[in-house]
Amino acid sequence: MEHSLNHAVLRGALHALPVFSHENHGKKFFRFLLEVPRLSGVVDLLPVIGEESLLAALDPSAGGMLTVDGQVRSHNYREEGARRLLIFVFAGSITVEDGEPVNEITLEGTLCREPTYRRTPLGREICDVMLAVPRAFHRADYLPCILWGRTAQELSACHTRDRIHIQGRLQSRLYTKVTEAGPQERTAYEVSALTACLAQD
C-alpha cells in the first residue's frame, strides 16, 4: 500500500462480528465496525473492510482490541435511485493487541471542488473540503474532510486542483435525511483535520 499519500491506523474494540461484504477476483471480503473513543468520550463507530485471510487467524469473539493498518477508501453506489458515497478503512493488516485507542489518518491529494467555508452560530470557523487521493491503477478515493479554526480560514482560500496534506482522525456523524418515506437517521464519515497545509512539491 502507498502509505505516503493515504495511511490509516485504528485501534479499538470490535462492535459486532464481521459480516460478508463482497467477493472480488475470487477473494472474499468482510465488513465490521470498530469502536474508537475520542478524548471527549464520544465513541466513533468506524467501518472497516478486510480480506477473509486477515480475519481467519483472529479470534474476534475473545474480546480485546484490534489494530487495523490500511487506507481510507471511498466507493460510489446507488441506493433508492440516488448516488451515495461509502467511506471505509480498507485493511492491509489486522492484529489483536491491547493499548490506548488509536485513530490516525494521513492523506495527501488534490481538491476536487471549491472549499466551503462557514461559521457556526457560536463563531467557530469550519471549512469542508473534498480530497481526491490517488490510488494504484489510475484510480482515486474521494474523501470528505473538515478543517477547523485558523486552518479552516487559511485553506478556504485554496482552489480546485490545489494539493493538500492532512493529518487527523476519521469520525462518524449522525444526521437526518428527509426522504419520501419520511425522515431517516443516517451516518456520515469524514476526516477531521488536526493539521492541514498545502503540500510541498
DSSP secondary structure letters along 90-106: EEEEEEE--SS-EEEEE
Is the per-residue pLDDT at 157 higher than 70?
Answer: yes
What pLDDT, on the 0 to 100 scale, is given for residue 185? 84
Whole-number Å distance between alpha carbons of 58 and 52? 10
- Residue by residue, DSSP assigns 173-186 as EEEEEEETTEEEEE
Q: What share of the chain is helix, strand, coil (3-state, %, to 5)?
A: 5, 65, 25
3-state secondary structure of 55: helix
- How does pLDDT run across 47-61, given as a tens digit for each residue? 999 999 998 877 755
* Half-sphere exposure (Cβ direction) of 25: Cα atoms closer than 13 Å: 1
Indicate the CATH number for domain 6-103. 2.40.50.140
Q: How far apart are the first and last CA of the chain?
A: 21
Is the per-residue pLDDT at 174 higher than 50?
Answer: yes
> What is the residue-averaged pLDDT of the chain?
90
Any idea where the domains of the chain sit in the sequence? 6-103, 106-198
- Predicted TM-score (pTM) of this structure: 0.90
- How does pLDDT run across 95-114, given as a tens digit for each residue? 988 889 999 999 999 999 99
Decide yes or no: CATH 2.40.50.140 for domain 106-198: yes
